[in-house]
């Protein structure tokens, strides 16, 4: 019997807050767009089995320095955080409140 594999072409939030990272000018990075990587915010190849329709976003920063990379996977400015995690947090809280009062 084969083990059950959950596959999805849907992104999942890896965390509710962005990842603070140090980036190097000209270096190539692969940002995890699916949320399944264990090496957030970067791709570890997990999308190949867990979200085969998705692919990492490859990017090269234009300067050295710190950056906030999105971990909720809802940003409109990938790979950088745009504050969308606040919407994700609010959605989670409202969902929890609805379940509490059912």
Give 18 or 56: the residue with its C-beta nearer to ligand FES: 56
Measured between alpha carbons, how far is 60 from 40 in angstroms, rounded to an integer?
Answer: 17
Give 23 or 41: the residue with its C-beta nearer to ligand FES: 41
Measured between alpha carbons, how far is 96 from 29 in angstroms, rounded to an integer?
Answer: 35
Give 23 or 30: the residue with its C-beta nearer to ligand FES: 30
Instruction: Tell which residue, 11, 95, 97, 20, has the closest CA to residue 54.
Output: 11
**Other CB atoms within 10 A of residue 47 CB:** 22
Measured between alpha carbons, how far is 91 from 88 in angstroms, rounded to an integer?
Answer: 5
Q: Which residues in this chain contact ligand FES in the complex, by CB under 6 A?
A: 32-34, 36-37, 43-47, 54, 56
Closest distance of CB 24 from ligand FES, Å: 20
Closest distance of CB 32 from ligand FES, Å: 3
Estimate to the nearest angstrom the gap between the alpha carbon of 84 and the chain centroid. 11
Closest distance of CB 30 from ligand FES, Å: 7
Give 8 or 84: the residue with its C-beta nearer to ligand FES: 8
């Amino acid at each position: 019997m084969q083990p059950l594999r959950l596959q999805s072409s849907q992104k999942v939030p890896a965390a509710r807050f962005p990842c603070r990272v140090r980036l190097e000018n000209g270096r190539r990075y692969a940002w995890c767009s699916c949320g399944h990587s264990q090496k957030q915010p970067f791709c570890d190849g997990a999308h190949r089995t867990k979200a085969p329709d998705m692919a990492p976003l490859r990017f090269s920063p234009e300067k050295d320095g710190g950056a906030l990379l999105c971990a909720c996977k809802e940003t409109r400015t990938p790979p950088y955080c745009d504050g969308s995690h606040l919407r994700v947090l609010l959605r989670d809280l409202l969902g929890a409140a609805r379940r509490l009062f059912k």
